[in-house]
A and B are shown apart, each in its own frame.
Chain A
């Protein structure tokens, strides 16, 4: 018999996925990490190119080094775990789209595993170079972001300059048939 959750539950959970940037001081168990890696592995990509490689980061000193790449990602220092997404560096836009896909799937999976996740971006070219250095990424490959994971302490954006919360109403973003018809 299927134990799959009924659709309103799963969809309601998805709608509640928010960035978590503050975490409890509690490690993420190995079997949960393994689950997340398999979720990443099986994500779809443009023409099944799978243009990614993932680096699991759970070393405090390394997380701290990443957090110092630029001030808006200082919160990474106190996370128990991050998964860095390394891309092949062939097609910028397709790989960006695929990076977004795998990130979203990881964030949704994290929530359904009782975790919270947040994305942290390295930033400009020099900051990306620093990120690649910390992670030992070979020349030619790119690394733009990491997915940070842990048991959430709070979901409110605690940064000095928080992003505006909430979303535009459907009436503002949806048309039927033709654009803004």
Chain B
């Protein structure tokens, strides 16, 4: 059994999406670690409903950055991992995609990298990504995770989004919805 590791928890609490990165490549062995962490992520009934496309070409990442409404930061990532899903994905596939994305971002943080999610939310955006990456018609693509070494001289938050989180009091109940401890 692992020991209680509170320093790790405090780093989890501080993890935020990064959007501005240095022009510095990610070593191949770090990329391999990320992919292996992704591979071991749990999924509904262990279906592992994912494939990953590693994109380290700047021009391709710039093209991906223009595909969607919230994908702009991909223009300066060192690398992106595009998540390919089966045809007609169910709600449970979206949940598994969230799990693997979160694990990738947690692992990235511990490898000294920043990361963020990019959504290809419209059919047009998805079609663009399909074309760029040669994804066949019987696969779906909804999102990517972008990675890089954080450029700490620049703000990381999208200017249109509020930061912070709701208070625990607002989001936690005990036993039944709305019941406080």
* A178 & B94 in contact (Cβ 8 Å cutoff): no
- Confirm or deny: B134 has a beta carbon within 8 angstroms of a beta carbon on chain A: yes
Q: How far does the alpha carbon of A61 sit from the alpha carbon of B175 in the complex, in Å?
A: 11
List chain A residues, Cβ under 8 A from B161: 47-48
User: What's the Cα separation between A119 and B12 when bound, in Å?
Assistant: 20
- Given the known A-B contacts A11-B111, A14-B103, A93-B94, are A42 and B33 also in contact in the complex, defined by CB atoms under 8 Å? no
Q: B84 contacts A38, CB within 8 Å?
A: no
Q: Give the docked Cα–Cα distance between A178 and B131 (Å).
A: 10
- Report how many residues on chain B are interfacial, defined by Cβ distance under 8 Å: 82
Q: Which range holds the interface residue count of chain A?
A: 35 or more
Which residues of chain A have a CB within 8 Å of any CB of chain B? 2-5, 7, 10-11, 13-19, 32, 35, 37-44, 46-48, 50, 52-57, 59, 62, 86, 92-94, 96-105, 107-109, 111-114, 119, 121, 135-138, 141, 144-145, 151-152, 163-170, 173-181
Q: Which residues of B contact A (CB under 8 A)?
A: 1-9, 11-17, 33, 35-37, 39-42, 44-46, 48, 50-57, 60, 70, 84, 91-92, 94-103, 105-107, 110-112, 117, 119, 133-136, 139, 142-143, 161-163, 165-166, 168, 171-179, 181
